[in-house]
C-alpha cells in the first residue's frame, strides 16, 4: 500500500456519504438512463478514493468495460485520479487469496494514463484544456469519472456534454454511470444549475431522477490529522473556507479581486526595518504605457508580511528600476536581500539580450555600499508562476483568514500598492484574468508572487541572519 491509500480489498466506506454512493450504484434503476453523481465535497473529504474504488469494482465486475478518467489538464489528472487508482490496486487480494499482479492481472502506461485488465476492461484518459472537445465524441464508455468538475466553467462545459453522450455506448454492460468530484464553487457555475443545487439548498427534491448529489465536509473524514482543518482555516479567507472546508456553494468573486483587503491592512506610519530579518525585493516586469515596471519591498516576520516601500517606474526597463531602488538608499542596509517575482523574468528580456534576473544579479553583484561593502543577496524564483486564482486566494487569506487573523500590512510609503489591493479587478468577459490596464495592478502582482513563494516554502520563517557590521 502506498502512503495512506487502502488497497481495493482493504477499502471500507467509513466517510458517511461513501456508503450511500456505493449503495445507490447497486440499487439505481438503470432503465431510466445514465446515473450521474456529483460528489460535492470540501478539501480532504475522500472523493478521489471513492471514485477509484467504485470504478475499479465496475471494471473488474464487467469484462470489456471501459471507464473514462477525465480532467481539464492531463498533468493534473496524472498526479491525482490516475495515481490514486494505481495506489488502490497495489496489494489487492483477489477472491482466490492471491495478490493482484502487474503484468498478469493488469498493466498500465504512464504517458497516456492508460490502465488495462486481464478481463478486457480498461481505463482511458482524456483532457480538454485545448478545447478540442470533439475528440471526446468517438469514445464508447460504460462509465466515466471526472475530477475537479469546478475547473470546467462555461468555457469548458462542452466537454462534460460530450462525455455524457458517450456513456452507455457498450450494450453488453447493463450498469452505466458518471461520477463527478468537485469542490464547491460559485452558484453561477454551470454545475450548480445542471445538478439543481438551488432546489437542493431549499430542501426540494431534484426534478431529474437520474442525477444525485452527495454533500460532504472536511470534518466528515475521521482519518484526517487534527491539525489539518486548523491549517486550512489559517490558509483560507472566510469566504473560501466556507467553500473548501464547510462545503458551501457560495459566490466569492466580486468586482474587486482582493475583497479581504481593507482598513485593517493599512498602516499610516513608517515601517521600522528589522536588520536581523531579510528584505524581499518583489518584481513584476513590464514595459509600456500604462504598464509600469513595478516592485515593492517586504519583510516577513513571525508569519506576517510587511510591505513598506515601492518603486513604480513608467516606461522603464529593469536597469532603470534597479537604479531607482539603489537611489532610495535601502541597499545600504546590512540585511540580506532576497529577490522574488515574475518567473517569466528568467526567460525573457525587456530591453537587452539578458534576462531580467541576469540584469538584477549583475547590478546587485557590482553594487558597493558607501563603506565598500557588497550586497548580501540571492535570487529565489520558481520555474513557473502560480495560477492566478491561487495567487489571489493566498493574498486574500493573508489579508484576513477565516480565523479573523490579519497577516498582511501595507505601510504609508506603498500608496500604489494600497490602491492596487483596494481596486484591482478582473477583466470583463468571463475568463479569470486580471485587468492589467490599470497601472496600480502590477505591483499587486509582484506582492502576490512574493506571498505565494514564501507561503509554499518549507520553512516557517526566513533564516535569521546577523547584520553586517559597518
pLDDT of residue 291: 85
pLDDT of residue 374: 94
Query: pLDDT digit string (tens) for 113-147?
Result: 999 999 999 999 999 999 999 889 889 999 999 99
Cell of 83: 495515481
pLDDT band at 227 (very low <50, low <70, confident <90, very high): confident
pLDDT of residue 290: 74
pLDDT of residue 138: 87
Report whether pLDDT(347) > 70.
Answer: no
pLDDT of residue 462: 40
pLDDT band at 426 (very low <50, low <70, confident <90, very high): confident
Q: What is the CA radius of gyration of the chain?
A: 26
pLDDT of residue 461: 43
Q: What angle do CA 35, 175, 124 make, to 5 degrees?
A: 90
Cell of 114: 492508460
Q: Is 315 left (phi over 0), alpha (psi -120 to 50) or beta?
A: left
Report, as an integer, the average pLDDT of 355-374: 93
Between CA 176 and CA 427 the distance in angstroms is 41
pLDDT band at 459 (very low <50, low <70, confident <90, very high): very low
Place of cell 544579479: 361
* Lowest model confidence (mean pLDDT) among 81-95, 201-215, 401-415: 201-215
pLDDT of residue 470: 35
* Lowest model confidence (mean pLDDT) among 27-31, 74-78, 185-189, 365-369: 185-189
Query: pLDDT digit string (tens) for 274-313?
Result: 999 999 999 999 876 778 999 999 999 999 999 999 999 9
pLDDT of residue 389: 87
pLDDT band at 202 (very low <50, low <70, confident <90, very high): confident
Report, as an integer, the average pLDDT of 402-420: 94
> pTM of the prediction?
0.65
Cell of 66: 471501459
Q: Say if residues 53 and 46 touch (Cβ distance below 8 Å).
A: no
Cell of 119: 478481463
pLDDT of residue 207: 83
Report whether pLDDT(390) > 80.
Answer: yes
* Lowest model confidence (mean pLDDT) among 141-155, 173-187, 243-257, 359-373: 243-257
pLDDT of residue 243: 85
pLDDT of residue 458: 47
User: pLDDT > 90: what percent of the chain?
Assistant: 66
Amino acid at each position: 500500500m502506498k502512503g495512506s491509500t487502502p488497497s481495493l480489498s482493504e477499502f471500507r466506506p467509513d466517510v458517511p456519504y461513501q456508503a450511500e454512493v456505493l449503495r445507490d450504484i447497486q440499487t439505481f434503476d438503470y432503465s431510466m438512463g445514465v446515473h450521474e453523481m456529483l460528489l460535492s465535497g470540501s478539501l480532504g473529504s475522500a472523493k478521489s478514493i471513492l471514485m477509484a474504488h467504485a470504478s475499479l469494482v465496475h471494471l473488474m465486475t464487467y469484462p470489456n468495460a471501459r471507464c473514462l478518467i477525465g480532467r481539464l489538464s492531463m498533468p493534473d489528472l496524472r498526479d491525482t485520479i490516475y495515481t490514486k487508482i494505481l495506489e488502490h490496486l497495489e496489494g489487492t487480494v483477489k477472491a482466490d487469496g492471491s495478490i493482484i499482479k502487474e503484468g498478469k492481472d493488469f498493466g498500465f502506461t504512464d504517458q497516456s494514463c492508460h490502465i488495462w485488465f486481464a478481463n478486457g476492461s480498461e481505463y482511458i484518459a482524456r483532457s480538454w484544456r485545448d478545447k478540442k472537445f470533439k475528440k471526446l465524441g468517438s469514445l464508447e464508455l460504460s462509465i466515466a469519472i471526472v475530477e475537479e468538475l469546478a475547473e470546467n466553467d462555461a468555457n469548458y462545459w462542452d466537454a462534460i456534454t460530450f462525455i455524457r453522450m458517450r456513456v452507455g455506448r457498450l450494450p453488453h454492460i447493463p450498469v452505466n454511470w458518471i461520477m463527478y468530484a468537485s469542490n464547491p464553487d460559485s452558484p453561477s457555475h454551470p454545475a450548480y444549475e445542471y445538478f439543481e443545487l438551488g432546489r437542493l439548498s431549499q430542501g426540494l427534491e431534484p426534478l431529474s431522477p437520474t442525477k444525485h448529489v452527495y454533500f460532504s465536509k472536511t470534518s466528515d473524514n475521521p482519518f484526517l490529522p487534527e491539525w489539518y482543518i486548523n491549517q486550512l482555516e489559517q490558509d483560507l479567507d472566510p469566504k473560501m473556507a466556507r467553500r473548501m472546508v464547510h462545503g458551501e456553494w457560495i459566490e466569492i468573486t466580486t468586482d474587486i479581486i482582493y475583497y479581504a483587503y481593507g482598513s485593517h491592512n493599512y498602516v499610516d506610519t513608517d515601517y521600522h526595518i528589522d536588520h536581523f530579518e531579510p528584505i524581499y525585493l518583489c518584481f513584476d516586469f513590464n514595459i509600456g504605457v500604462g504598464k509600469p515596471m513595478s516592485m515593492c519591498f517586504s519583510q516577513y516576520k513571525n508569519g506576517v508580511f510587511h510591505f513598506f516601500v515601492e518603486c513604480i517606474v513608467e516606461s522603464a526597463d529593469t536597469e532603470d528600476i534597479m537604479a531607482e531602488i539603489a537611489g532610495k538608499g535601502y541597499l545600504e542596509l546590512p540585511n540580506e536581500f532576497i529577490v522574488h517575482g515574475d518567473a517569466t523574468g528568467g526567460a525573457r528580456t525587456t530591453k537587452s539580450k539578458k534576462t531580467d534576473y541576469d540584469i538584477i544579479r549583475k547590478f546587485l553583484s557590482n553594487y558597493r555600499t558607501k563603506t565598500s561593502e557588497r550586497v548580501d543577496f540571492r535570487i529565489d524564483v520558481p520555474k513557473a508562476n502560480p495560477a492566478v486564482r491561487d495567487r489571489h486566494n493566498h493574498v486574500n487569506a493573508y489579508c484576513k483568514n477565516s480565523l479573523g487573523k490579519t497577516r498582511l500590512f501595507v505601510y504609508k510609503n506603498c500608496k500604489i500598492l494600497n490602491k492596487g489591493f483596494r481596486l484591482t479587478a478582473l477583466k470583463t468577459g468571463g475568463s479569470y484574468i486580471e485587468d492589467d490596464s490599470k497601472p496600480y495592478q502590477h505591483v499587486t502582482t509582484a506582492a502576490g508572487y512574493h506571498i505565494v513563494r514564501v507561503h509554499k516554502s518549507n520553512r516557517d520563517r526566513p533564516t535569521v541572519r546577523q547584520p553586517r557590521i559597518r
